[in-house]
C-alpha cells in the first residue's frame, strides 16, 4: 500500500505530526492531493500572532479539528510597542488578514461640572471592557481545542475572566499535554472605565491565579511584569512560582524572570530559585531587575555547566571582595565551560570571576556585554584563552576612560573582534550614575582591518539614544513574512516587471468591450434576491471523519441551477486564461512521441517545460491518463501536453490567432453553437468556458510554425479553451459575447 491509498482522515493525521514548516511545504508540493490537505489548514494555522478581537479565534472555537493544527500562538496587545524586543507583525491566516479589529462606538460628550468623566465616556469604557471580556471567552473556547499546542505567549493586560466563576486562560493551559514554552508579559496598564459585570482586573493577573503556578513539564519559562510597583497593586504569591519551577519543571532549558515590585519584594525570588534549582538541561538564564548574592549565584552557576547564555540585565550582582578572593569557599573551577554570551549592567567582578576560573579548554565565548574596561579585564581575558572566539564586546564606563589605550592590547587578545561599543554613563558630584532622565552616548567601533603588528584601523561614530524603561537602547526586530507555499522568507520589496509595450487587445477590452458587455449582459434586479433553497448534504461537513469525503447533495447536482451573480461593474465578464491542449495517441506506446507536440507548444506560446522551474507560472505540462480506457490506456501514462496562458502572453496568442490564422482557414465559418433546444442548466452551460478545435492543417498558418515548418516531422491539432470569470445560469452566453468581441465568429447549424 502506498501513501496516497490511505484514507484522507489518516493522511490528515499524518500531516498533523509534521512540525517543520519547510517539511510541510515540501510535502504539499508532492502532488495535488497532499497539497489540498496541507494548505491552508496546516501551513497557515501552525503559528498565529494576533490580538484577541480578531475573528480568527472564533473560527478556531467553532472548528476544533482546525484548532488541533495550531502549535504556536501569541496573544498580542495594541500597545505592545513599549516592549521593544517583542514587536512582531501579526501572523494570521490569509482569509482573516483584510478584516478590521472591531471597535467600541465613539461617543463625544463633555465633562461634568465637577470635572468627573462624562456619562457617555463611562458607558463607552464599559462597552469596550465587555467587548474584551467576550473576546477572552471566545479565546478560551478556542484554546480548549488546541491539544497539540507547544508554545504560548501572552503579551497584553491581565485577563478579565474571574477564575473563581469560570475557566480562564491559565486553567485551560494547565490541561494541555504538549505545552512546553510559556512566555508571559504581564502588562502594567489595567482596563479603564466602569467594568460592569467585570471585577477589579488587578486580582486576575497570572501571579494571583493558582492555575498559573500549576504548569508542568515546561522547557522554557519567561515572565516579565512591572505591574506591582505601587503599594495598591497587591503582593503576588512568589513561593508558588519558585516551587513550580523547581519541582514541576525538571527539564527546564530557558529561564527568564523580570519584575519591578514595591519594596523590592521580587528580589527574594531569585534567591530561592538559585538555592533550590537544579536543572540538567538549562541553557539560558536571564534575570532582570533583581539582586543576586554571590553566595547563591556562584554555587548555582557551578551546578549548571550547561548554561550557554547568561544575562543579568538591570541587576546588581552583590559580591563581597573577601568572598571572591576566598578560593576555598568559592567553587569557581570549571565554571560555565559552554558559555557563549554573557550580558550585564555592568558585570564587573562577576565577569572577572568567571574568566579566571580554570578550564582544560577555552570557552566558546562570542559576546560580552557590560564589561568594565580595565587592566584586570584584559589580563583575565588573555589568561582564559577565549579571546579568539569573541566577536562583540560592549564596555560600560562610569567615568571618562580613554578607549584608545586599550585598543592595541585588545587587537592582540581578540583578533576576530567585529564590533566594539563603549557606553558612557556620567556621574554627578556624589558619584552616582546619572542614567534616569538623561541621555547616554555610545561610541560604536566596527573593526575594518586587523593587523597584529599595528593598531587596527577603526571607524567610530557617536550616537545618542534616549533611555528606555529597561535602561537599554530600543531594538525593534521584524520577522520576514514566509511564503505559504514554500515556507521561505519573502523580501519586503516586491519586484514587478512592467509591460514594455501596450497590448492592443487588452486596451480594446478596457476602452470598448467592457462598457458594451455591461450594457448587453446587465440584468435589473428589483428588491432582494431570492435565497437559494438549502440543500442537505449526504455527510455532516463538521464531522472530522468525513470532511474530505465526496459530499454530494441528496437532491442531486445543483451546479446547473446556480444563479448568476448580480450585475455590477466589479463582475463584468473578462478573459482569465487561454488553455491549449493536444493529445498524442502514439505517446501511449512511446513517450518520446510527445517531444514534437512539446516543441510545437513551445513555439506557439514561448513557454518551456514546467516553466524552467519558476513558481510563478506552470509552463508546458504533461497530461496523464486518469483511468483505464479500453485496455490501451492506463492511469498515469502521459498522453498529451497542455499550457495555460495568462496576461500578456494570452493576448499575444489571441492576436495571432485572430489576425493570422482564422482569416486563412477556408473551411472555418465560426465556432459552432449548440442547438437552440439544448438545456441551459448543464454544467458546461454554467462554466463560462468557450472551446473549439483546430486541425493539424491549420497549425501551419501560425507565423511561429510557418517560418520553420520543415523542422517539424509532424504537426498536431489542438483544442483552444477560453476560460472566463462568468459563473451561474447564462455564463456561457456571456462568455460567447466576450469572445465575439475579439472578432471570433459563431455559427449555428
In a domain, 717, yes or no: yes
50 beta partners: 75
The whole-angstrom separation of Cα 691 and Cα 609 is: 24
What pLDDT is attached to residue 692? 94
Query: What is the model's pLDDT at position 118?
Result: 58
Closest listed residue to residue 56, CA positions, set 40, 35, 33: 40
Phi, then psi, of 287 in degrees rounded to 5:
-120, 125
Question: Which pLDDT does position 504 carry in this prediction?
Answer: 86
Q: Which residue has the cell 464599559?
A: 126
Neighbours of 103 (CB within 10 A): 9
Region for residue 634 given its phi and psi (left: phi exceeds 0; alpha: psi -120 to 50; beta: otherwise): beta
CA distance 519 to 741: 13
Count structural domains, the chain: 1
Q: What is the pLDDT of residue 651?
A: 93
Phi-psi region of 334 (alpha: psi -120 to 50; beta: other; left: phi over 0): left
Residue 582 lies inside a defined structural domain of this protein: yes
CA distance 152 to 282: 20
Is residue 656 within 8 A of residue 698, CB to CB? The reply is: no
CB 465 within 8 A of CB 473: yes
Q: Which cell numbers hold the place of 47?
A: 503559528
**Rounded average pLDDT per 10-residue block, the chain, 749 residues:** 75 82 80 80 82 84 86 76 47 61 51 52 68 86 90 81 82 88 75 44 64 84 75 65 82 83 53 71 81 68 88 58 40 77 77 77 87 81 84 74 69 84 59 42 46 40 40 58 77 58 84 89 75 74 81 68 77 92 90 91 86 64 85 84 91 93 92 85 84 94 91 93 90 92 90
* Cβ atoms of 333 and 358 closer than 8 Å: yes
φ, ψ at 413 (rounded to 5°): -75, -40
pLDDT of residue 660: 93
Positions of E strands within 112-157 = 151-156
- Let me know if 124 is exposed, middle or buried by CB neighbors in 10 A (0-12, 13-18, 19+): buried
Q: Which three cell numbers stand for residue 100?
A: 478590521
- Three-state DSSP class for residue 206: helix
At residue 468, what are phi and psi to the nearest 5 degrees? Answer: -95, 180
Do the domain assignments include residue 625?
yes
Half-sphere exposure of 728 (CA within 13 A, CB side): 11
Q: What is the pTM of this model?
A: 0.55
Residue 253's CB: how many other CB atoms inside 10 A? 19
- Residue 593 CB neighbour total at 10 angstroms: 16
| Numbers of helices and strands, H then E, in the chain | 20, 23
Using the 8-state DSSP alphabet, how is residue 303 labeled?
Answer: T
Question: What string of H, E and C letters represents the secondary structure of 492-522?
Answer: CCCCCCCCCCCCHHHHHHHHHHHHHHHHHHC
Supply the range of the domain harboring residue 663: 504-747
**Cα–Cα distance, 637 to 624 (Å, whole number):** 5
Give the span between the Cα atoms of 169 and 172, in whole angstroms. Answer: 5
Provide the sign of the torsion angle of the four alpha carbons 694, 695, 698, 699, taken in this order.
Answer: positive
Cβ atoms of 606 and 650 within 8 Å: the answer is no
Question: Per DSSP, what are the bridge partners of residue 397?
Answer: 424
Q: How far apart are the first and last CA of the chain?
A: 52
Domain-located, residue 266: no
Q: Is 519 left (phi over 0), alpha (psi -120 to 50) or beta?
A: alpha
Residue 684 in any domain: the answer is yes
Cα–Cα distance between 634 and 625 in angstroms, integer? 6
Name which of 211, 60, 47 is nearest 135 in CA terms. 60
Within a domain: residue 168?
no
Q: Radius of gyration (Cα) for the chain, nearest Å?
A: 35
φ/ψ (deg, to 5) at 684: -70, -30
| Helical packing angle, 238-247 and 268-276, nearest 10° | 20
Sign of the Cα pseudo-torsion (480, 484, 486, 491, in order)? negative
Q: In this structure, is the dihedral angle defined by the CA atoms of residues 34, 35, 41 and 44, taken in order, positive or negative?
A: positive
Task: Give CA–CA dist 404/401, Å, rounded.
Answer: 9
Please give the pLDDT value at position 265. 47
Q: Where are the beta strands (DSSP E) in 237-333?
A: 254-261, 284-288, 291-293, 309-313, 316-318
Q: Which of 215, 224, 336, 338 is CA-nearest to residue 287?
A: 224
pLDDT of residue 40: 75
Q: Provide the β-strand partners of residue 341.
A: 309, 367
Is 112 buried (19+), middle (13-18) or exposed (0-12) by CB count in 10 A? Answer: exposed
- CB atoms under 10 Å from CB of 694, counted, come to 21
**Does 529 map to a domain?**
yes
CATH number at residue 562: 3.30.1440.10
Residue whose entry in the numeric block shows the C-alpha cell 505592545: 80
**Domain presence at residue 698:** yes
Q: How far is CA 356 from CA 285, 324, 350, 363, 634, in A?
A: 21, 11, 10, 12, 75
Amino acid at each position: 500500500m502506498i501513501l496516497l491509498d490511505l484514507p484522507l482522515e489518516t493522511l490528515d493525521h499524518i500531516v498533523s505530526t509534521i512540525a517543520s514548516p519547510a517539511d510541510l511545504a515540501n510535502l504539499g508540493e508532492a502532488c495535488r492531493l497532499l497539497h489540498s490537505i496541507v494548505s491552508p489548514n496546516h501551513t497557515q494555522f501552525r503559528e498565529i500572532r494576533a490580538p484577541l478581537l480578531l475573528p480568527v479565534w472564533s473560527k478556531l472555537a467553532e472548528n476544533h479539528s482546525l484548532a488541533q493544527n495550531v502549535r504556536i500562538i501569541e496573544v498580542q496587545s495594541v500597545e505592545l510597542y513599549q516592549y521593544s524586543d517583542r514587536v512582531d507583525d501579526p501572523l494570521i491566516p490569509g482569509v482573516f488578514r483584510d478584516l478590521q479589529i472591531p471597535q467600541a462606538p465613539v461617543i463625544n460628550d463633555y465633562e461634568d461640572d465637577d470635572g468627573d468623566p462624562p456619562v457617555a465616556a463611562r458607558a463607552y469604557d464599559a462597552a469596550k471592557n465587555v467587548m474584551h471580556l467576550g473576546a477572552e471567552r471566545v479565546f478560551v473556547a478556542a484554546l480548549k481545542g488546541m491539544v497539540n499546542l507547544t508554545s504560548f505567549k501572552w503579551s497584553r493586560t491581565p485577563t478579565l475572566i474571574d477564575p473563581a466563576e469560570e475557566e480562564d486562560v491559565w486553567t485551560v493551559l494547565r490541561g494541555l499535554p504538549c505545552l512546553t514554552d510559556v512566555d508571559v508579559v504581564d502588562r502594567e496598564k489595567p482596563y479603564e472605565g466602569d467594568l460592569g459585570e467585570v471585577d477589579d482586573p488587578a486580582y486576575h493577573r497570572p501571579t494571583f491565579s493558582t492555575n498559573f503556578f500549576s504548569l508542568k513539564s515546561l522547557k522554557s519559562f519567561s515572565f516579565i511584569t512591572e505591574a506591582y510597583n505601587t503599594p495598591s497593586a497587591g503582593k503576588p504569591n512568589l513561593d508558588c512560582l519558585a516551587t513550580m519551577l523547581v519541582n514541576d519543571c525538571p527539564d527546564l532549558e530557558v529561564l527568564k524572570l523580570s519584575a519591578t515590585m514595591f519594596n523590592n519584594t521580587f528580589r527574594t525570588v531569585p534567591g530561592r530559585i538559585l538555592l533550590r534549582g537544579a536543572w540538567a538541561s538549562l541553557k539560558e538564564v536571564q534575570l532582570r531587575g533583581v539582586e543576586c548574592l554571590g553566595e547563591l549565584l556562584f554555587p548555582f552557576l557551578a551546578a549548571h555547566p550547561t548554561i550557554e547564555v547568561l544575562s543579568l540585565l538591570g541587576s546588581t550582582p552583590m559580591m563581597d571582595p573577601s568572598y571572591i578572593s576566598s578560593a576555598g569557599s568559592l567553587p569557581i573551577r570549571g565554571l560555565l565551560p559552554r558559555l557563549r554570551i554573557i550580558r550585564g549592567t555592568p558585570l564587573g567582578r562577576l565577569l572577572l570571576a568567571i574568566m579566571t576560573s580554570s578550564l582544560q579548554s577555552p570557552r566558546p565565548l562570542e559576546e560580552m556585554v557590560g564589561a568594565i574596561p580595565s587592566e584586570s579585564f584584559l589580563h583575565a581575558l588573555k589568561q582564559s584563552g577565549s579571546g579568539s572566539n569573541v566577536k562583540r564586546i560592549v564596555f560600560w564606563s562610569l567615568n571618562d576612560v580613554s578607549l584608545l589605550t586599550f585598543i592595541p592590547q585588545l587587537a592582540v587578545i581578540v583578533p576576530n573582534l567585529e564590533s566594539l561599543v563603549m557606553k558612557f554613563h556620567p556621574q554627578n558630584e556624589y558619584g552616582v550614575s546619572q542614567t534616569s532622565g538623561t541621555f547616554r552616548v555610545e561610541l560604536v567601533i566596527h573593526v575594518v582591518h586587523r593587523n597584529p603588528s599595528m593598531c587596527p584601523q577603526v571607524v567610530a561614530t557617536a550616537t545618542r539614544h534616549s533611555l528606555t524603561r529597561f535602561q537599554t537602547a530600543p531594538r525593534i526586530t521584524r520577522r520576514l513574512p514566509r511564503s505559504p507555499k514554500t515556507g521561505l522568507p519573502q523580501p519586503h520589496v516586491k519586484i514587478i516587471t512592467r509591460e514594455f509595450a501596450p497590448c492592443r487587445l487588452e486596451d480594446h477590452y478596457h476602452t470598448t468591450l467592457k462598457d458594451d458587455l455591461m450594457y448587453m449582459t446587465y440584468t435589473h434586479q428589483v428588491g432582494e434576491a431570492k435565497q437559494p433553497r438549502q440543500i442537505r448534504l449526504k455527510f455532516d461537513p463538521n464531522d472530522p471523519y468525513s470532511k474530505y469525503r465526496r459530499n454530494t447533495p441528496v437532491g442531486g447536482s445543483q451546479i446547473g441551477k446556480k444563479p448568476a451573480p448580480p450585475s455590477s461593474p466589479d463582475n463584468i465578464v473578462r478573459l482569465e486564461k487561454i488553455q491549449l491542449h493536444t493529445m498524442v495517441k502514439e505517446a501511449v506506446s512511446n513517450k518520446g512521441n510527445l517531444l514534437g507536440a512539446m516543441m510545437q507548444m513551445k513555439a506557439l506560446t514561448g513557454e518551456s517545460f514546467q516553466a524552467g522551474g519558476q513558481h510563478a507560472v506552470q509552463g508546458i505540462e504533461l497530461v496523464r491518463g486518469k483511468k483505464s480506457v479500453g485496455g490501451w490506456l492506463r492511469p498515469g501514462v502521459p498522453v498529451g501536453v497542455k499550457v495555460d496562458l495568462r496576461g500578456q502572453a494570452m493576448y499575444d496568442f489571441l492576436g495571432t490567432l485572430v489576425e493570422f490564422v482564422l482569416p486563412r482557414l477556408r473551411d472555418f465559418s465560426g465556432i459552432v453553437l449548440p442547438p437552440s433546444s439544448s438545456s441551459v442548466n448543464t454544467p458546461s452551460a454554467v462554466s463560462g468556458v468557450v472551446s473549439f478545435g483546430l486541425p493539424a492543417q491549420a497549425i501551419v498558418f501560425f507565423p511561429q510554425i510557418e517560418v520553420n515548418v520543415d523542422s517539424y516531422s509532424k504537426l498536431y491539432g489542438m483544442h483552444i479553451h477560453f476560460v472566463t470569470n462568468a459563473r451561474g445560469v447564462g455564463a456561457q452566453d456571456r462568455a460567447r459575447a466576450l469572445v465575439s468581441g475579439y472578432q471570433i465568429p459563431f455559427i449555428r447549424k
